[in-house]
């Protein structure tokens, strides 16, 4: 599942031809998570 999400995010960045910051929530506590994509790569690798 995470690999599919990674591919979707990278595809969005490629289609927009731009760096992206995607903000979402994670888990039952709705913890805020930001995913940064720069130069076609996800910055956070965790």
Q: What is the pLDDT of residues 1-46, one digit of tens each?
A: 677 877 888 888 888 888 888 888 877 778 888 888 888 888 876 6
The maximal CA–CA distance of the chain, rounded, in angstroms, is: 33
What pLDDT score was predicted for residue 1? 61
Is the sign of the CA dihedral 42, 34, 8, 28 positive or negative? positive
What pLDDT score was predicted for residue 13? 84
Measured CA to CA, the distance from residue 39 to residue 31 in angstroms comes to 26
| Predicted structure pTM score | 0.62
What pLDDT score was predicted for residue 12? 84
Specify the length of the chain in residues: 46
C-alpha torsion angle, residues 12, 16, 22, 28 (rounded to 10): -30
């Amino acid at each position: 599942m995470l690999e599919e999400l990674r591919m979707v995010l990278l595809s969005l960045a490629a289609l927009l031809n731009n760096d992206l910051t995607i903000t979402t929530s994670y888990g039952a506590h709705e913890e805020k998570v930001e995913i940064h994509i720069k130069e076609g790569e996800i910055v956070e690798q965790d």
